[in-house]
Structure 1
Amino acid sequence: MPKRHAVVAGAGIGGLTAALALRRRGWHVTVCERAPEPPTTGAGIGLAPNALRALDAIGVDAARAAGSAVPATMGVRRAQGQWLTRAGTADMAARYGVPPIAVPRPALTAYLAAALPPDALRYGTTVTAVDDAAGSPVVRTEVGPALPADLVVAADGIHSPLRRAYFPAHPGLHYIGETAWRTIVDAPDLRIPAMSETWGRGERFGVTPLSDGRFYLYATAVVPAGTRSADPRAELRRRFGSWHDPIPALLDRVARLDPADVLSNDLYDLAAPLPRLHHGRIAWLGDAAHAMAPNLGQGGCQAIEDAVVLAHLLPAGDVGDGGGSGGSGGSGGSGGATDSVSAALAAYTAARRDRTDAVRVRARRVGRLGALRHPLAVAARDLAVRATPARLALRGMDDLFDGFRLPG
């Protein structure tokens, strides 16, 4: 029986999750990724209960990607070390059914990719354009012949060329005023039991135990866009070397890394929501659809939600009757199958646009608190956070962590 064909632009976590979810719906899938090979280095990613629940809905056990170690506590600290707020992950598991975990991003992408047929993944293949004028998308790349499709999933990242092409009037990205550094270190001897983010004056430092025993470190500072240091390792020591333990010891490990293993980039989010998350038979997800500041740890989580909801709403890949697809080598035709894909994409926008934009706005607001620099403003912020009972702070995450639902 012929199958509908989806082309996914981008082999990040959102794109791979979409490809896997669509495969399990019976679709034929081709993933085009501009990078020449899968990533082997990079940062970590936190998987909150909502993302874990979404992955579970498509039969993915994220803990199998790289172990299942869970930190005992998580919270926010001052640069001198005092906790402003702290919660046990056991309390989170009791409230949301599962505790959050953090995994190395390359391990998670490798795990998702391994669940796809090898011929579904095309590295070194940049999507240059999608022609969708007749309602039957044709994907053009820098290499090889054009790819007819029944659906195109634009998971092509924060600078999404497909977003710019199909929403030319959109204002695009907004610099949130901070640069971030990210890396992973091995430090089993430090025995750090907590996931923490430390707030200073216009600077933050995060320590996240990964599920494989290593530590994902990230830091931010309020600086003009484009600011770069010759050696990011030295820059991190200069800014954070006098902060509380175990930050100095962790920076000692960072100093042993190759400078290329310390990622540095300016932070952007989408200046405004897209008018919709689809156009014709193209659907946007993840950073391409709703790039957000990393302050809530929800960028990847929302991309996973997008992918699972999109696949859930689409018709099954097998084309029985009513017209539609020409199978894996052809694109959609007309009739009931075409209409069902179009209706599913409209339902996808309805299901995801408001939720993802609310998270985007909330992440920006939280970031403004963390980026405060005036001493009086910082003191007031810290006092307010300390005065909030932990149970109320946890309850405030309900709409994020307990907000994933499959439509219908």
Structure 2
Amino acid sequence: MRMRKAAVVGAGVGGLTAAIALRRIGWDVSIFERWPRIVAEGTALGIRPDAQAALASLGLGERLRERTVPYRHARIRTPDGRHLADLPLERIERRGGAPVRMLSRVSLIEMLVEEVDPATISTGVEITDPAALRDSHDLVIGADGVRSAVRQAFFAAPTRPRYAGIVAWRGVVHGFEPQDYGETWGRGQMFGMTPQSPGVTNWYAPVRTPKGVRETLGDLRARFAGWHDPIPRVLAAAEEDAVLRHEVHDLAPPLASYVTGNVALLGDAAHAMTPALGQGACQALLDAAGLAACLRDHPGDVPGALRLYDARRRPAAERMVTASRWMTRLAGAGRLAGPRNALMRLGRR
């Protein structure tokens, strides 16, 4: 029997995971990445139990545990340090049977790359004619991010990247572990801290910012001046060239399908979302594992397997998109921050 061929466009979390999963079920996979090298940058990712199970199904469970730290307790506070609520980490652990585990994106990408045959990766290749890939492969996977060339080529929907009005800042602090992890919610901005590895703390700060405005690290420090300790100290220790900053985009309106013919989208190419729930990487992992499972169970019917993938993954992913958008608005509330805080305190009683 001829080995089936798949082209994966994009070598991020979703694309690499899809390539690994497909190879495990007998597919010949080629990966195309437009950057000159696979970009392994970023700070901490919270890997939830379902995404941990997806990695375990690819034989990566033990390495995941070796590289991660559990995240079990965290609070939401006001800028003056008052306790508003607890993040639902204990509930996630009860329901999923495992704690959320924190992992740097760099470490995750490295772990995935180790599982991929280097000969199957072509870097510095920008796919300008996805139709040619479709003609020469049994399956084309668009894992090429929010501005996906694959989505633009094959999906006629008016779905486009939309600026969410937020700039996300991220960084790490070495040799420092705060007394309490969690998030601090203010007016139009929030600040969060999580563990990343022993002795390393991840911080993030989504702030409402007009489109096109580029603030400096000094501006960010001024935004959080007067917030409770250790937030000003963490920002004072941050170095300009080590801090990541990017405008947040989601997709609107949502796609009516993640598949067409022998083409499938996954990750941000299908459902880019705001970062409030920290679910972008987890959803890409679940997409990739779910897609491979459908193809494994329906080996002779690629279009049918893709329709099943869409039926299983799109409703779940779109629920996460909606929840993340709602949580982004809640955490970054402006004039309604006062009523929001009052309701959250009532919910603790």
TM class by shorter-chain length? over 0.9
CA-CA distance at 1:128 after TM superposition: 1.7
Equivalence map 1:382-401=2 (5 Å): 382-389=341-348
Aligned amino acid, residue 129 of structure 1? D
Q: 1:305 aligns with which of 273, 286, 290?
A: 286
Aligned amino acid, residue 196 of structure 2? L
Aligned to 1:172: 160
Q: 2:330 aligns with which of 363, 369, 374?
A: 369
Aligned to 1:215: 201
Aligned to 2:73: 73
Matched residues in 1 for 2:274 and 2:137: separation?
32
Matched residues in 2 for 1:40 and 1:59: separation?
21
Matched residues in 2 for 1:161 and 1:304: separation?
20
Give the paired residue count: 349
Aligned to 1:183: 171
CA-CA distance at 1:22 after TM superposition: 0.8
Contact 1:285 1:307 in 2 (8 A): yes
Contact 1:25 1:316 in 2 (8 A): no
Equivalence map 1:103-114=2 (5 Å): 103-114=103-114
Q: Deviations over 1:154-174 (max 9, x none)?
A: 000011122122224414122
Equivalence map 1:5-404=2 (5 Å): 5-61=5-61, 64=64, 67-86=67-86, 89=89, 92-131=92-131, 137-138=134-135, 148-186=136-174, 188=175, 190-192=176-178, 194-229=180-215, 231=216, 233-254=217-238, 257=239, 259-315=240-296, 337=300, 340-374=301-335, 377-389=336-348
Q: Deviations over 1:372-401 (max 9, x none)?
A: 111xx21110111222249xxxxxxxxxxx
Contact 1:72 1:193 in 2 (8 A): no
The list of structure 1 runs, each at least 4 consecutive aligned residues, that deviate by more than 3 angstroms after superposition, is 62-66, 87-92
CA-CA distance at 1:243 after TM superposition: 1.2
Matched residues in 2 for 1:75 and 1:47: separation?
18
TM-score, normalised with respect to structure 2: 0.93
CA-CA distance at 1:2 after TM superposition: 3.4
Q: Given the superposition, is the C-alpha separation of residues 354 and 92 from structure 1 closer, same or farther in structure 2, using an over 3 Å criterion?
A: closer
Identity among equivalent pairs (%)? 37
CA-CA distance at 1:100 after TM superposition: 0.5
RMSD value, Cα: 2.2
Which structure 1 residue ranges, 5 or more long, are not aligned? 139-147, 320-336, 391-408
Matched residues in 1 for 2:37 and 2:158: separation?
32
